[in-house]
């Protein structure tokens, strides 16, 4: 499941949180009109951070 707002074109826009079926956080970051921007954290099924990825303003 992903929790994120959509822009007027139906693209992801703003802070985003994606969860595993068990409710643990899977990914956390921010979208700008469908593109990932800034720092994103990727977690394992227990919610432990296993990767941090940085995206520029172009995704």
Cα distance between residue 40 and residue 11, in whole Å: 18
Q: What is the pLDDT of residues 14-50, one digit of tens each?
A: 999 999 999 999 999 999 999 999 999 999 999 999 9
Q: For the chain, what are the domain ranges? A: 2-55
CATH of domain 2-55: 2.20.110.10
Say what the alpha-carbon torsion angle 45, 39, 29, 11 is, to the nearest 10 degrees: -130
Write down the pLDDT at residue 27: 97
Cα distance between residue 19 and residue 35, in whole Å: 19
pTM for this predicted structure: 0.86
């Amino acid at each position: 499941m992903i929790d994120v707002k959509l822009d007027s074109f139906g693209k992801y826009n703003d802070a985003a949180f994606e969860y595993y079926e068990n409710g643990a956080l899977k990914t956390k970051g921010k979208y700008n009109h469908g593109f990932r921007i800034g720092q994103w954290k990727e977690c394992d099924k227990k919610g432990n951070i296993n990767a941090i990825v940085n995206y520029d303003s172009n995704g």
